Structure 1
Amino acid sequence: MCYRRSMATKPRALIIGAGISGLSAAWWLDKAGWTSVIVERAPRLRDGGYLVTISGLGLETLMRMNLAKDLEGLTYKFEENVFNDNNGRELLRIRYKDVHGGVESLAVCRDDLARTLAKALPESASIRFNETLDHFYDDGSKIQATVKSGDIIEADLLIGADGIRSSVRNESWKDVDCLEHLGYSYAAYDFEKKDVLKSDCVSFNGPGHLDMLYALRNDRVAALHIWRDDMMKPKDEENNFEIVRHVTAGSVKLVADVIDGAEESGSSPIMDRLTMVTLPKWSKGRIVLLGDAAHCLTLMSAQGACMALASTEILGKELMATKDISQALDNHERKLRPIIEKLQQRSRNMASMYIPKSKILFYLRNLLMKLMPASWVASWHANAVKFEVDLTKS
């Protein structure tokens, strides 16, 4: 079947990926007078994922979408994070209100944010689940795309919002080496387990790895593990939980119990390398990349979801301001790129701070955390959060 667009109809975007970027893009394109077809590989919106904190430009975007209030009932308000060494000795406690108290923010799970965006989709947008992009061609005046089912979709704009492994980027930027590995990998998962934690959030840090456990609603526990890439062995790649066990072998019994409980529950960890995407340009002709496909910041920045939301608003408003698609894409990139580049540099710096690679640096960092007043450490984190928020507003 061929879906063609007549000159009398609204312009159409074909969006690959029903994540935060793709769903938000469809919402803003509707405001610009466009229609959207979202193609998603999964059979439904994806579950799981770690917590994200929405602040700065991202929060302002949600407010202008009238979705901030919808998310308030889904937010988490943690009291404190208890930092421990890999033997379980407490190093310090940081209260979240001391870190985020001066900055308006929402802490939500990625899947809750995605579902909220999906519920807000206008009638001009549709999602085709269990579908993938087969091939596409930009003839200068339109996009001709064929999807796995065999349907041909004609569109005015192709948006790659399909994450760090973007098929759109891999096809259109195939000669560009754009993946920058930070030297770390991560695993994230959650499962039902009652009363396993004594605090909202506890962290255990050993040489080369960080284990963070935090409580979710409905008696669920979530875990995030980050480790040096060289701690993985090739044979471990057969089983994700075996990889996590290997890299956390020197941590406390609580971490091992959580890993065992998650595997027994049937949970499946999300696992990948901490990798940024650094492209010289995010668009080509009638093709544009958004979110992680264009400029993955990694979870170190804590601004990936925020920038995905803000980026789609900028794009929608630029397409509203001009019918020249090329000009709109250039304006979108000109406004966003300086912010992204600064946040990516922070990601490079933060990885070495939170997870020292050598034992000497690890013990020196822990000694410093033990000796410094907690208020000093909280102030440092608060200034970092404020810097990131101010940066996105600059």
Structure 2
Amino acid sequence: MSENLGKKILSLVGGQDNITNITHCATRLRMRLANSEIAHKNKAKIESLDGVISVVEKAGQFQVVIGPAVPQIYDQLIENTDLTSSENEHTAKEENTNWFLKLMDVIGGIFTPLLPLFAGSGVFRGLVLLATQLNWLSTSSSTYHILTVASTAVFYFLPIMLAVTAAEKFKCDKFVAAAIMGALIMPEFMKLMGSTGNGTVVHFFGIPLVLMTYTSTVVPAILATWCLSYLEKWLRSWIPTNLQLLFVPLISLFVMVPLTAGVFGPFGVYVGEGISNVINWLMNLNGWVAGALIGGVWNIFVIFGLQWAVNPVMINNISSLGYDYIVPLTCAANFGMAGATLGTFVRTKDKKNEGLFYLSAFINFLCRHYRTSDIRYWNPL
């Protein structure tokens, strides 16, 4: 693969001045362009580049499908330019005209950086479970427990990780955001709930706070960080510059930790549980129809980036219920893709992509088998 692939793509889409926003997901460069006609005219040239799989123009984005090497190509493209994954003023104004695209962009920006970790942890967890099912590893051994915490730590500390990625998206201090959510999963905070658990009422300077368990939660971290971004801007607008280093994080922690614990946290938990309950109710109402619908449209969701609206629900199901009904339904879509890529591998005469088709089919079969093998996390339909 050419070392200059990123720069070639940059040139063919019209240069950095034509890019108003750029980011990447697990396999694609995703760009918003000031003048999309330039890139559209060069679409065939971009697709012919060694290392480019295809080009997709969807949801206001010019997407270049690269594959697993996309982080490296992204770094090549933005190197020695003024481009970052954060929107500039032009993009912000443009996205305000379409709230749905803006919402998808925000959700995607928050979850995309964590995708490699989710994928690695998921397969890691699957391998550990496979070893126990084959009696290669005892669940009472210290080795099993060490491998378990290594493969599931991402879910326990998910609020902190989401706070960091959300802070990057909302343009506020990511370390303060991480500290806010970290405070809510500290053992000292958990002890306040005693044996009562969720719903315990405590008092902060006489103000009643309803405590919840925040490990593995999704919504509270995003809401708290979004609020922090506004608080931080307001504090910087009136605190003298030479005092901001100390007082902005101090006041942010003083305000946001109890505010999140008493307002945003419980609200986020209840909203997440409500959405999960509605979706799971639909699954229980008619599993066949729900399965056919979700499995049938899931790949279309992925093309348009709509899966980001469902992924938080699946993660919340796992954290609140211990299992999820949606993931097994998406397996049908992925097995379909695996079959299609395997068939293409058998019939293709394109040597350039032959290995990619085989690898894609193998990864789809492997990952879906491991993800569905743990009934404690993925409940069958």
Q: Name the TM tier (shorter chain).
A: under 0.3
Structure with a larger share of its residues in strand? 1
Which of these two proteins has the greater Rg computed from alpha carbons? 2
Structure richer in helix, relative to its length: 2
TM-score by length of 1: 0.26
Provide TM-score, normalisation by structure 2. 0.27
